[in-house]
Amino acid sequence: MKKLLSKDTKTLTMVQAEKIAAYLRIIALKNGKRKPMPKIGIAKKWRKKNGARESSSETSSEDSEGTSTKDWSNIIKAQPDGVTNKKEDRNGPGETYGVGNLRTKDSIRKDLKVVKWNEEENLIQCEIQARLAIQTDPELRGFYKRKIDPRIHNGEMKTMVRIHQILVGKKGTLDITFNEALLKFIKNERYIPPKQRLLMIGNKSFDWQTNVKVFSDIPKEIPATADIPNTMLYRYTNSLHVDKKKFKNLLDLGKTEVKCECCHSGSIVPCWANEKCPCYKQNVRLRGIQKIMNQMSHSRTNFSTFEPIYLRDNDSYFDTFGFACSESCGCKGRCTNNVTLLLEKDIYQLEVFRKNANMGFGIRTNTAIPRGTPILEFTGELVQGKVPVADGDYVYSVFQEAENGEDLISATLMKDKKANKKQVQELKEHLAEGKEWFINPKRIGNLARTCCHSCEPNLSLVRVFQKGFTPAHCRLILVTQEVVFPGVELTFDYGAKYIEEHLKNNCLCGRASCKSSPLYKMMDEANEKSLEMYQTLRYHYRYNDFKTKVLDPIEAKVAAGTSHGE
């Protein structure tokens, strides 16, 4: 089996691929156990173990290749455009500062240019940039461990199978046939751009507040005649936009902020597992309302800064919340109890792209992203009640007073002895008007609005509160549900209603489980064991492609002592 596992995936036969899938499934079932969440009262023990981590440059904070202590600056051309260690101030609820101007088609067209593209060199460069970003940031070095294992973990395998079962609405009973058609879907998951691309947006600016570049790969497209869709015309913001006048009462109710006074001499404050940190205590309370279907196989989700956000295997959006420290805290949000901190770091090199005229823009990653990573925030305008029909494709429900029978406010604030009970009651009454709250990114938004739908999504949405519990303090975060390898598109599930009403069941996601796929019937009826084999085989192909195209060339450069680009 060892010889078979090391074989080039391009040369594997169907029989060999199925053998590998069966073997790796058995291995995956034996690993992937989670660490339990620390209980309140063990802060001293945790700090004793982790308090000095920021001072150690030898602590591994990289992938499973063991590359954290290498100096990457000598094999890269210069400090990359996609990496910055600058801390960006986040805007509070209701503030309009930081919202970019509305871009026009003419302003975009004047910057269009055709560029040459070397995909393999791009992926190598971006991987080195990610390692350099971690190595040079004192808030990441020694704290953030980026690990990409050669084999899929049990938790990832089970999670992806459960997502499939939720989307098809049942547990199948038939075996998957590992034929050439299925292997073709697996092999073609990574998008490979053409050698010549149209660069549409290449630089960060006030009107495009991100280092992410935008490309169009439509054949024979030139700047003068390139199609610039209306979907590119919106005001960019990296934070939730709340209308001060319209939602004054809501903002007034949230004036009493939940914040800590934690401090520490190091670059990162240990708020996580600190029984004196009010933000961490709210995190624990929110964790307590998560529903557990099976105590043996499902664990509650933890929301700490540097640990993965492992979502439970059941559909958990409406009862899974986190609470994070913020810039209002004594720690300034630079702590172990702020899952939004990684969103401020340009670790992972993303790219907006358009592959053909039939598809809209999507987002792909140029670096491997570990499972459980908060990768994007879904920003936009906070709206209440009815949403205009024209905006229906964009909005996402973010808040209701009672969801799935759980009263979020009563489950948290009412149990806090220091909470202002009158204010809490006013907040409950305000939210009990029966109207839903949405984030609408159509006119004001960010990169996340570009994420496409997929019938095999690799992202899920979670909600994280900061400072308070009003909709104005709720952040909608996209988290990776599996390891996302370089070149793969970032996607999440838009819902069955969207596919039926807007796509007319003509989805173009290109995945094996899609209703438009010739393999849909087989995947729809697949049993759990077969789906687990399918997930292990997907991972095996993607990791080996990553190793061959990225990891091995980097190690060769390091071993040879050559400078990047020679």
**CB-CB contact of 453 with 507 (8 Å):** yes
Closest to 215 (Cα-Cα) out of 355, 367, 83: 355
- Predicted TM-score (pTM) of the model is 0.87
Per-residue pLDDT of the chain (566 residues; tens, 9 = 90+): 888 898 888 888 889 999 999 989 999 998 755 444 444 433 333 334 444 333 333 333 334 544 444 665 556 554 334 333 343 444 333 333 479 999 999 999 999 999 999 999 999 999 999 999 999 999 999 999 999 999 999 999 999 999 999 999 999 999 999 999 999 999 999 999 999 999 999 999 999 999 999 999 999 999 999 999 999 999 999 999 998 888 877 766 656 788 999 998 899 999 999 999 999 999 998 888 787 655 444 578 999 999 999 987 546 677 788 999 999 999 999 999 999 999 999 899 999 999 988 888 999 999 999 999 999 999 999 998 777 767 777 788 886 655 543 455 555 655 666 555 665 666 666 666 666 788 999 999 999 999 999 999 999 999 999 998 888 888 999 999 999 999 999 999 988 777 777 777 788 899 999 989 999 999 999 999 999 999 999 999 999 999 999 999 999 988 887 544 44
Q: Alpha-carbon distance 146 to 154, whole Å?
A: 18
Here the tokens at position 170 are 């049942």
What one-character DSSP code corresponds to residue 75?
Answer: G
DSSP alpha helix (H) spans, 395-502: 408-412, 421-431, 496-501
Distances (CA, A) of 494 to 158, 167, 183, 454, 491: 21, 11, 26, 8, 9
Here the tokens at position 479 are 């988290």
Here the tokens at position 292 are 């557990």
Distances (CA, A) of 162 to 23, 255, 436: 20, 40, 28
**CB-CB contact of 70 with 304 (8 Å):** no
Closest to 183 (Cα-Cα) out of 25, 10, 19: 10
C-alpha triplet 29, 35, 40: angle, nearest 5°: 155
Q: Alpha-carbon distance 133 to 115, whole Å?
A: 25
What one-character DSSP code corresponds to residue 353?
Answer: E
What one-character DSSP code corresponds to residue 484?
Answer: B
321-324, strands of its sheet edge to edge = 321-324, 459-466, 474-480, 374-378
**CB-CB contact of 328 with 257 (8 Å):** yes
C-alpha triplet 324, 328, 331: angle, nearest 5°: 70
**CB-CB contact of 519 with 174 (8 Å):** no
What's the farthest any 2 CA atoms get from each other in the chain? 69
* 515, containing H or E segment: none
Distances (CA, A) of 125 to 17, 279, 335, 486, 517: 31, 38, 30, 12, 34
DSSP alpha helix (H) spans, 299-452: 408-412, 421-431
User: β-strands 362-365, 474-480: how paired?
Assistant: unpaired
The alpha carbon of 169 is separated from its chain's Cα centroid by a whole number of angstroms, namely 24
The identity of residue 241, as a single letter, is: H
Residues in the chain: 566
User: Topology of 2-44+63-79+118-192+237-560 in CATH?
Assistant: Beta-clip-like (2.170.270)
Q: Alpha-carbon distance 438 to 388, whole Å?
A: 12
Residues ≥6 apart with Cβ < 8 Å to 393: 498, 502
